[in-house]
Amino acid sequence: MKDRRIGVFVCYCGGNISDYVDVNKVRDAIENEPGVAVAKTHMFTCSDAAQQEIIEDIQNEKLDGLVVASCSPKLHLFTFRAMAERAGLNPYQYVQVNLREQCSWAHRDNVELATDKAIRLVRAGIAKTRLTEPLSTLRIETKPKVLVIGAGVAGLRAALAISDLGLFVFLVEKEPEVGGWTRKWNKMFFHDQRGDDIIDMLKDQIKQRENITLFTNAEVVEKGGSVGDFSIKVRVGKDDTISLEVGAIIVATGFDVYKPAEGEFGYGLDGVIRLPEFKDLVTQSNGTINYNGRTVKNIVYIYCVGSRQFGDIDNPNLYCSRYCCSAAAYEALCAYEKNPELHQFHLFRDMRTYGKHEVLYEEARTRQSIFIRYEDEDPPVVERVKGKLRVRVHDQLTGGEELEIEPDLVVLVTSMVPRENDKLVDILKLPVGLDGFFNEIHPKLRPVETVVDGVFIVGAAQSPKTMAESVASALSGVSKSAALLMKGYVDLEPFIARIDTELCEWCEECTKACPYDAVEKVSVDGKEVAHIIESLCKGSGACIPVCPKDAIDIEGYTDVQVKAMIDALIQEAV
Amino acid sequence: MAKQLFVTPYRCIDCKNCEIACSFIHTQDPQKPALPRIRAYTFKGDVHSVALCQQCEEQTCLEVCPTGALVRDPETGVIKRTDACILCRTCALACPYGNIHFDPLNKEIVKCDLCDGDPFCAKYCPSRALIWAEEPAPDLEPEMEVEGLLGEEEARYSANRCLDCGGCSECHECVNVCPADAVKLDMRDEEQILEVSSVIVSTGFNLFDAHLKPTYGYGRYPNVITAMQMDRLLSPTRPFNHVIRPSDGKRPDNIAFVLCTGSRDQTVNNRLCSRVCCMYSIKQSQLIMGALPLADITIYYIDIRAFGKGYDEFGEQAKAMGVYFVKGKVAEIKETENNNLTVFYEDIAGGDGLKDAEHDLVVLSVGLLPNIDALNLFDEGLLEADIYSYVKEIDEDINPGKTSIDGVFVAGAASAARDIPDSILHAGAAAAQAAAYIERMRADK
């Protein structure tokens, strides 16, 4: 091991660390560790002033390794890497030690042992730093093209917005026609625009764009490559397969309407229909609303059908579907507009007409709609008795009084459910949440990004949304794709696997273990060995334990480094 | 004769300087100000006085202390607390004058120690209601309200007792010592002109002022706070290490959240739902469960609007943790004994009609209102508002964030109440359209 000059900076975090960890004792304990040239403490290491001081230390003391013992790397890894870079130090010779989330905050009850643990953690960080090598990022040229999967309202709007920015779009739709659910609908809340009009308008605009190619009756069947440089195979029609090269992928596959089980709130009985079907009835009506040739006078709406269930096998949907309360209240207003003589009863659990949608609820209450709250555990019962529909419900407002309503029509206010597209999930390797919708990286801060770099999820494929919300999320996905592609390149972390070709004897175990298809077989001097495809490797480490020859290491997390860290952790503390 | 601390109540002006001075001199850690050992009181509106330990001869506190932690100094006669104290607070209960307190922040029993023979309270009493002397100050004639001029010695003494709480004498020492050169004393407002092709208005919302709902008593009852104040109490950089209630620093054990304060309420001229309050209240209730595991938490609501991804599951989790959800709009809040509060509400789910419940802390979940300053950013009337005074989105369905001015987009809560996920998506939409607008401008040139 050559002599290293490592700088160690321990942070008070303004008391967050120093209230429970004796920061100066930590500094004193490690300042004589082999390789440590500078050891200091700072009140806030992340402050500009402290960073400036550290940069000066790096330059004056000619440091070749850096340890900051502060908060979680999730918060400031990139801050300090950038600082190292500004000081002329290779950013991958920086190691962050987490003394806050993993030490001071966790051990408020025992200052002494917390300090002891902090010393060990910092020693481990130093041990790792002693073995760091300068690494450089992997730069990949990006393709200025985006694949949009699904041509519903979100996909269409996304395609137009990408085209606006001068990028090419391939828009792939499974159905023979574009427009998804929106195309099938007439007047929609909140602005009374017609769904079919909106789709026609978007379709017309797309036709005029030279940089949008639309495939209908088409499905994505294969995905290779990685962020900035994906290679995609699309099956068009029955037999044609075409290959595309794109830099980013926007998934806008939308939702399905919940299909209740036979007998669920009377589903299957004559006169029990779902909200989308009711919407069609209202659209078709001229004056009165008719169902199967009969005039409808009394309507019962049952809310939360397929939403907020109890999580058992028959009722798996725990989530709230968000759009349905507002949509049902709006539909009641549309029905009232057609026929003010209607009696409409809404059986609900919580009215979730959030934000400005509140006025829909307010208006419906003044227009012949009666809202009856039922208890979660005591849902309404729908039966057909002597040829007539009958709904029984306990009304909370009247102290649980049982009401009997004989409606002509029961409208089940059904939820949005995730589309069944297991094949696509498999091809894109996208994670799916407990609710069955695609999962984002962070629900608040990164709602359209996924763990697969360069693949974005928008619209109702991510979670139930209204049309306007779907469009907002689609445009958000466009922002993210454009920010990625318009720069022309992406830099990938260098933490990828490396094969020691002298040890490797190509047994295939690593390629079997790799979830990213990043290992290929090559021949080196006539010997068959494994080779890592840099742009595909994510540094997951899945290949390492399965290698019988210990021929694989992850850059930045080598076996030697990890062992050195463990040794430092269990060393007797002073 | 030894010096004593004399109190002359009619001179006390209730300025509380004595409390501040006492706290200052006893504070060890600047982040944890000490509880004052002396208290200034006002009786029946206009009679002022101070209360502090009398160092009584009938030493009840000393006798009840189970560990013998209180001892009387044989020389000065001052009763002092020693390290044997186990914080049982029996002395505080026993003191007939209520002059022994428990300091929750520093976790210690506090009582007057006469500052080891140099009481600061007397030093900083501006009206000489407190004096440290061998004999009481001569009585002033009741009508003689004006005192004579100060002599030189007195003037110097008075000038010296200034605590200089916030004054800057512009000595520029801070400029000299700051390593980052961050202090500039010659900075002035400056106006900059930036030429841009597109503008995104993201000026956010205004918070409902809880004073405007007088039936809830905010501002009148110390233990009625807003959810923003509760958030501060719960945040990682919170001012105290515990959730405490304002009136007495006690940890509350029966907390109520009143949802829809200022939302869905025609009496305060806001018919809209604020969209975020249900969820932040549920979040806070879960955090309180962590901070005060034994506390009862009740959420009074009209509808629980847990509509976003994972929200309903989060609400159910709070229920499973033991948070009580009561459907019923709160009509009125009244103060009872010990600054506790009675909440009057209609019990809709229970079917019991009008009911009341006592809580020791009430949190008002205040709603969101438009920030009308956004509308004045451009020449009058150019940036259109909707009927609720939010920035109007002229084509929300297809171009969310597009405003009445070409090239100007709105993002987040400036155009409607929005939570963080929806604001982020909306902002992304505004960014995409602003970029497209700039691209189009460039192409047209």
Topology annotation, domain B205-369: FAD/NAD(P)-binding domain (3.50.50)
Q: Do B224 and B217 meet the contact criterion of CB atoms below 8 Å apart?
A: yes
For chain B, residues with pLDDT lower than 70 are 1, 44-45, 139-148, 161-170
Query: Are A323 and A377 in a shared domain?
Result: yes
- How far, in Å, CA of A377 to CA of A84, rounded? 59
Q: Is there a single domain that holds both residue A55 and residue A130? A: yes
Q: Is A441 part of any domain?
A: yes
> Is 90 exceeded by the pLDDT of residue A497?
yes
* pLDDT above 70 (res A573): no
- Give a yes or no: residue A279 inside a domain: yes
Sign of CA dihedral A300, A301, A305, A307: negative
CB contact under 8 A, B433 and A475: yes
Please tell me the number of Cα atoms within 13 Å of A348 on its side-chain side: 22
CB-nearest to B304 from A191, A350, A482 is: A350
Whether residues A177 and A240 share a domain: the answer is yes
Do A265 and A250 fall into the same domain? no
Alpha-carbon distance of A148 to B395, in angstroms, equals: 23
- The reply to whether A566 falls in a domain is no
Cα B296 to Cα B289: distance, rounded to the nearest angstrom? 8
Provide the shortest C-alpha distance from residue B418 to chain A (in Å): 8
Given this model, what pLDDT does residue B117 score? Answer: 85
Residue A73: CATH number of its domain: 3.40.50
Range of the domain at A210: 145-254+419-489
Of the ranges A101-110, A183-192, A469-478, the best mean pLDDT one:
A469-478
CA of B308 vs chain A CAs: smallest distance (Å):
6
| A131: confidence class by pLDDT, cuts 50, 70, 90 | very high
pLDDT value for A428: 94
Q: Is residue A431 part of a domain?
A: yes
CA of A479 vs chain B CAs: smallest distance (Å): 5
CA separation, residue B192 to residues A97, A266, B189, B374 (Å): 42, 67, 10, 19
Give residue B183's pLDDT: 86
Q: Do A443 and B400 make contact, defined as CB atoms within 8 angstroms? A: no
pLDDT digits (tens, 9 = 90+) for A246-275: 999 999 999 999 999 999 999 999 999 999
Residues near A201 by Cβ (< 8 Å), separated by ≥ 6?
A: B398
Sign for the CA dihedral angle at A279, A285, A286, A288 comes to negative
pLDDT at A473 over 80: yes
Which residue spans within B285-337 are E strands per DSSP?
296-301, 324-327, 330-335
Residues in chain A with CB shorter than 8 Å from the CB of B435 are: 164-165, 479, 482
In a domain, A561, yes or no: no
Q: What is the largest CA-CA distance in chain A?
A: 94
Question: What does the block give as tokens for A81?
Answer: 């890497």
For residue A363, what are the contacts with CB-CB under 8 A and spacing of at least 6? A329, A333
On average, the pLDDT of chain A sits at 94
- What pLDDT band is residue A36 in, cutting at 50, 70 and 90? very high
Tokens 């849902």 sit at which residue?
A: A379
Listed residues A135, A169, A185: the one ending a domain:
A135
Chain A residues lying within 8 Å of B271, measured CB to CB: 358-359, 362
Task: Say how far apart CA B362 and CA A560 lie, in whole Å.
Answer: 57
Which pLDDT value is given to residue B177?
83
**Residue pLDDT, tens place only, A357-408:** 999 999 999 998 999 999 988 999 999 999 899 999 999 888 889 999 999 9
pLDDT of amino acid A264: 94
Residues 6+ apart with CB under 8 A from A475: A157, A158, A161, B400, B428, B429, B432, B433
* pLDDT recorded at residue B103: 87
DSSP state of B391: B
At B206 the pLDDT is: 97
Residues A408 and A270 in one domain: yes
Cβ-contact B12, B129 below 8 angstroms: yes
Q: What is the CATH number of domain B4-137?
A: 3.30.70.20
A354 and B309 in contact by Cβ < 8 A? no
**pLDDT the model gives residue B367:** 97
Domain with A521 in it: what CATH number?
Answer: 3.30.70.20
Residue A418 to residue A454: CA distance in whole angstroms = 22
Which residues make beta-bridge pairs with A233?
Answer: A222, A243
Q: Contact, A7 vs A54, CB < 8 A?
A: yes
Task: State how beta strands B324-327 and B296-301 pair.
Answer: parallel
CATH number of the CATH domain containing A176: 3.50.50.60
Q: What is the 3-state secondary structure (H, E, C) of A240-274?
A: EEEEEEECEEEECCCEEECCCCCCHHHECECCEEE
Same domain, A293 and A429: no
Residues A33 and A117 in one domain: yes
Is the domain of A11 the same as that of A37? yes
Q: Which residues in A lie closer than 8 A to residue B307 (C-beta atoms)? A: 320, 322, 325, 352, 354
Q: Do A193 and B417 touch (CB under 8 A)?
A: no
Contact B424 A476 (CB under 8 A): yes
Residue A560 falls within a domain, yes or no?
no
- Interface probe with B: pick from A476, A485, A486, most Cβ of B within 10 Å: A476
Do the Cβ atoms of A471 and B429 come within 8 Å? Answer: yes
Position A563 in a domain = no
Residue A343 has pLDDT above 90, yes or no: yes
Mutate: best of B281, B398, B399, B410, partner A, most A CBs <10 A: B398
Specify which residues A273 forms β-bridges with.
A411
pLDDT in tens, A508-537: 999 999 988 889 999 988 899 999 988 788
The whole-angstrom distance between B275's CA and the closest CA on chain A is 5
ipTM comes to 0.84
Q: What is the pLDDT of residues B137-192, one digit of tens each?
A: 776 555 555 556 777 777 777 777 665 555 666 677 788 888 778 888 788 889 99
Domain boundaries, chain B: 4-137, 199-203+372-444, 205-369
At residue A330 the predicted structure's pLDDT band, cuts being 50, 70 and 90, is very high
Question: Which of A412, A427, A445 lies at the terminal end of a domain, its last residue?
Answer: A412
Quick one: A31 and A167 in the same domain? Answer: no
- Whole-angstrom Cα distance, residue A44 to residue A396? 56
Q: How many CB pairs below 8 A link A and B?
A: 165
Specify the number of domains making up chain A: 4
Rounded Cα distance between B54 and A74, Å, is 56
